[in-house]
Amino acid sequence: MRTSYLLTICLSIFLVSCVEKIILDPMEEMPVVVSCVLTGEGDSNVSGLSTGTQYVDLYRARHPSETGYQPITDASVRVVSGEERYDFVWNGERWECDFVPSSGREYQLMVKTADGKSISASTRFPDDVFLTGVFPSKANNAAGIGDQARLYAAYYLSRQTSIGSFVPYEKEVFAWITPEGDSDGRIGITTDHMGADGFNVSSTSWIDLTFVEKWKEFERSEEWWQKYAQYCSSEPIHIGFVRIHQQDSYESSFPDDLADYDYDRGKSTLFTLCADFPSLAGNKYRVRFLSKEYDAYLRTIAKKQIHSDEFASFYSLEDVPSNIQGGLGVFGSQRIVRCRTGFLF
């Protein structure tokens, strides 16, 4: 775990505002590197967050002729939101502070180092957005299947209006969806969302998932299955996760008659989503809703697929975004929820 976040910090030295190239002068003082992602975790059906400890990693990069990094342990580190002030303390490894971010609020990071250097950044914590699943076609009941085998066929990004009541979320969203428990990034996941990022797709398609064969065993409505399979069969498989950038007022082309979805929205926001889980029941998706600046940073790092932990080797990187004023790095935020993929009665 420690290696993971240290790697993230090392990568951050290449982050620059406005996506400029980095030119390192060995005679100049090396920049301060900041990495802070405000994080809150919640339930897929309940507003509010539970994670209470936030961390700031603060380092001074060394010269290209040297290796390693130098943690900054003597500084004033504070996060501000309106009249709320959160002062971080050094715990021997990182800067930390206990508080739960509030959805939709603006947060400012303010750092003052012992030598008088001022560093700042801002982020807007994501709204209470959910991944809501809807059941297969109403034709199931007509075919006599009823609740014997009901699996989520489609999803939409939603907001909660009351307990148990959701409507489509109509603002911009950056969502990273991973099959829960897929620590090795080997489970294939696919979607027909028009905002799906294709940088990690494989050469295989949705119809190739073993999940599809298992699903067919339970879905006895051949008319529904043939229509659904024909609609989704060519969608590519994403390796490990899928990144979705949903624009304002997203409208999909998913047929309404393929799912139970009674909300009168005037347009379809549904999209397919399925993963090659070992079984059909009890699986979940881990969904990370990211702030815009953190999404840009994480996408760039994911595309570069950096695996080395040698600090000096990272000086060859270019065009990694940063939102830190007076330094390099990222100050972002993420809201994490888990959504059940389906269940059997």
Indicate whether 102 and 227 sit together in one domain. Answer: no
pTM above 0.85, yes or no: no
Separation of alpha carbons 239 and 200, rounded Å: 6
User: What CA dihedral angle connects 192, 193, 197 and 199, to 10 degrees?
Assistant: -10
Indicate whether 217 and 303 sit together in one domain. Answer: no
Indicate whether 142 and 191 sit together in one domain. Answer: yes
pLDDT in tens, the chain (345 residues): 443 433 343 444 333 333 333 444 444 567 888 999 999 987 655 555 566 799 999 988 765 556 567 899 999 999 999 999 999 999 999 999 999 999 999 999 999 999 999 999 999 999 999 898 776 555 444 444 444 444 556 788 988 887 777 888 989 999 999 987 655 556 788 888 999 999 888 888 887 877 667 666 655 556 656 666 666 778 888 988 999 999 998 888 776 666 655 555 557 788 888 887 766 555 788 899 999 999 998 888 888 764 433 333 343 345 678 899 998 889 999 999 988 765 432
Separation of alpha carbons 115 and 319, rounded Å: 29
pLDDT at 148: 40
Domain total of the chain: 2
- Amino acid at residue number 273: L
- What are the contacts of 246-249 at 24+ separation with CB within 8 A? 246/157, 246/172, 246/173, 246/175, 246/193, 246/195, 247/172, 247/195, 248/170, 248/171, 248/172, 249/170
The answer to the question of residue 344 being in a domain is no
Indicate whether 118 and 67 sit together in one domain. Answer: yes
The answer to the question of residue 343 being in a domain is no
pLDDT at 174: 97
* Full DSSP string of 240-295: S-EEEEEPTT------GGGB------SS---B-EEE--SSSSS-EEEEEEE-HHHH
pLDDT at 291: 97
pLDDT at 150: 47
Choosing from 270, 287, 304, the residue where a domain stops is: 287
Indicate whether 84 and 193 sit together in one domain. Answer: no
Indicate whether 171 and 276 sit together in one domain. Answer: yes
Q: Which domain does 194 fall in, by range? A: 130-287
Separation of alpha carbons 242 and 133, rounded Å: 17
pLDDT at 209: 77
